[in-house]
Chain A
Amino acid sequence: KNEVEQSPQNLTAQEGEFITINCSYSVGISALHWLQQHPGGGIVSLFMLSSGKKKHGRLIATINIQEKHSSLHITASHPRDSAVYICAVVEYGNKLVFGAGTILRVKS
């Protein structure tokens, strides 16, 4: 079993829909990252969380340390949000472990 599980693996949405991507992990962590990888391959850091909730524009990330779960929400989705979204956890001992990613496609 992978230490970091993301769901869904693939997601297709219509423009304007509210999107949720989930990340569950099985180990103790000190922080969690959400990353975005565009079709061209480049990876951008969206959020780094250790507790609670963060918001940036239409993106919201939450984390529940006790339940070992994080969610990434996209409000009013747009075709330019189409990308792979990757969850990565920072294990104690400072190791970064990545989920397999969620492929999001937003249709206009």
Chain B
Amino acid sequence: EAQVTQNPRYLITVTGKKLTVTCSQNMNHEYMSWYRQDPGLGLRQIYYSMNVEVTDKGDVPEGYKVSRKEKRNFPLILESPSPNQTSLYFCASSLSRTFEGAYEQYFGPGTRLTVT
């Protein structure tokens, strides 16, 4: 089954404790991205990756890191989480390497993160 998986689905952590949210897709997609969703603000892009070893900042990259060492995986790293990073996070992938949105987007199930 074609899918994007994220882990963990729920996470409660404390300020400053490094964490990683994993994202994996099994569709051989070149393009992957991370979004956060906050009430009243909608979905905002954090980072995206056009292909292996190619990543770039989205609209709200501060406080986050990513890596793309393999095509299927795109982990999101919070080196020192803060309460303002409490949010619902989505990983997404699509076929296109060139056009971010010109192909169907596949979303992971979401990770609800709470930073106290």
Contact = CB atoms under 8 A, between A and B. Distances in A.
Given A86-B42, A98-B42, A100-B42, A41 B100 contact: no
A99 B106 CA distance: 18
Interface residues of B, number: 23
Interface residues of A, number: 22
Given A96-B45, A100-B40, A33 B106 contact: no
A44 B102 CA distance: 16
Given A98-B43, A98-B44, A100-B40, A90 B100 contact: yes
Interface stretch (B22-30, B69-77, B107-115): B107-115
A66 interface: no
B98 interface: yes
Contacts of A7: none
A45 interface: yes
A30 B90 contact: no
Nearest to A50: B102
B25 to A, nearest CB: 14
Given A88-B43, A98-B44, A100-B40, A41 B110 contact: yes
Interface in B64-108: 88, 90, 92, 98-107
Nearest to B103: A48
B104 A43 contact: no
Contacts of B45: 95-96
Interface in A39-76: 41-45, 48, 50
Contacts of A13: none
B99 A30 contact: yes
Contacts of A94: 98-102
B90 A48 contact: no
A30 B102 CA distance: 7
Interface of B: 33, 40-45, 88, 90, 92, 98-107, 109-110, 112
Which 4 pairs, one residue from A and one from B, show the smallest C-beta to C-beta distance? A90-B101, A43-B107, A94-B100, A98-B43
Interface of A: 30-31, 33, 35, 41-45, 48, 50, 86, 88-90, 94-96, 98-101
